[in-house]
């Protein structure tokens, strides 16, 4: 439901500006504000959505609501030229309302790692900061390439990424978190499912028996507690349950490079733990899994 606070806007709410420096931008998702700053256009940002907390300068801007509840009176007072919306996060009916009221709404896709670089280029073009955007996109892609190269020969290890405990959600192979797992030499056990963040059952996790369990810190310290009862699950036997930094892994921005470092470190530790536990002889029943590991060199 779209909450309308105050009188509805009337007429054309945009500006006919010749110079990009005069643009007024409002972002409807926290990560989009970060991308605007990343391309050097932070001075054009006049309003943000709830939970926008990075960079610090963005926290001082007026808040126009969240993805579902917008303060249209506040939005009208800001007189934005462009509203940046999240393609898969801002509800379609909200976009329709905004466009019907005369706002120019640009949706930005940030599902995959490639999308992040493309989003930087697009926002840079819209804001008149194409050169800075191209540099930021190139840096991001180069960072990803370096991570992939460093883990090209890593032993495969199966991973379950837990978004939440109740209900139990994970990510599929098209999600940027799954792509980070792949970069680090991991194998997402639910890569084959439909939907970016599919709901799953406990039985499905146990059946696919992950060797590593990951979750972000905003899922809470007790996110893995329910798995304690299944002591024979590989991740439990190896002691491979790791928390990822929520601020870095939850938002599709260049800070995913920081998240990738933490994720790769976790999988490297997971491989070491696996080697310590496994005997050098048990065959695998899961494609791509290493169930046998060399005995430690003493």
Model confidence, pTM: 0.83
> Among 150-164, 169-183, 278-292, whose mean pLDDT is lowest?
278-292
Look at 47 and 87; give whichever has higher pLDDT: 47
Four-way CATH pick for 153-277: 3.30.450.20, 3.30.300.130, 3.40.50.1980, 3.40.50.300:
3.40.50.1980
Write down the pLDDT at residue 259: 96
Contacts 24+ apart (CB under 8 A), 228-231: 230/206
Q: How many CB atoms lie within 10 A of CB 113?
A: 23
> Among 20-29, 227-236, 244-253, whose mean pLDDT is lowest?
20-29
Interior angle at CA 164, CA 161 and CA 168, nearest 5: 85
Write down the pLDDT at residue 2: 40
Look at 7 and 260; give whichever has higher pLDDT: 260
Domain ranges of the chain: 20-141, 153-277
Confidence of residue 99 (pLDDT cuts 50, 70, 90): very high
Four-way CATH pick for 20-141: 3.40.640.10, 3.40.50.1980, 3.90.1150.10, 3.30.390.30:
3.40.50.1980
Closest residue by Cα to residue 66 from 100, 22, 43, 33: 33
- Would you give the distance in Å from CA 24 to the centre of its chain? 26
Write down the pLDDT at residue 109: 94
Evaluate if residue 243 carries a pLDDT over 80. yes
User: Strand, coil or helix: what is 47?
Assistant: strand
Confidence of residue 7 (pLDDT cuts 50, 70, 90): very low
Confidence of residue 87 (pLDDT cuts 50, 70, 90): confident
């Amino acid at each position: 439901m779209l909450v309308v606070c105050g009188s509805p806007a009337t007429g054309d709410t945009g500006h006919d500006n010749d110079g990009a420096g005069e643009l007024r931008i409002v972002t409807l998702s926290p990560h989009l504000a970060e991308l605007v700053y990343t391309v050097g256009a932070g001075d054009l940002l006049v309003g943000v959505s709830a939970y926008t907390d990075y960079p610090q300068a963005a926290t001082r801007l007026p808040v126009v609501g969240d993805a579902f509840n917008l303060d249209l009176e506040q939005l009208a007072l800001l007189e934005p030229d462009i509203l940046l919306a999240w393609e898969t996060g801002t509800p379609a009916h909200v976009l329709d309302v905004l466009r019907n009221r005369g706002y120019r709404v640009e949706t930005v896709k940030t599902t995959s790692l490639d999308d992040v670089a493309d989003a930087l280029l697009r926002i840079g073009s819209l804001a008149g900061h194409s050169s800075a955007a191209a540099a930021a996109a190139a840096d991001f892609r180069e960072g990803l390439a370096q991570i992939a190269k460093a883990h090209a020969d890593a032993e495969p290890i199966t991973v379950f990424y837990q978004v939440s405990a109740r209900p139990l959600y994970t990510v599929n192979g098209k999600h940027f978190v799954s792509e980070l797992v792949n970069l680090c030499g991991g194998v997402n056990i639910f890569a084959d499912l439909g939907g970016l963040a599919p709901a799953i059952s406990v039985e499905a996790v146990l059946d696919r028996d992950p060797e590593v369990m990951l979750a972000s810190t905003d899922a809470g310290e007790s996110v893995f507690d329910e798995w304690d009862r299944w002591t024979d699950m590989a991740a439990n036997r190896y002691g491979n349950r790791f928390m990822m930094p929520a601020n870095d892994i939850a938002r599709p921005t260049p800070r995913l490079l920081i998240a990738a470092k933490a994720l790769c470190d976790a999988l490297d530790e997971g491989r070491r733990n696996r080697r310590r536990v496994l005997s050098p002889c048990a065959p695998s029943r899961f494609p791509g899994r290493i169930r046998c590991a060399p005995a430690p060199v003493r």
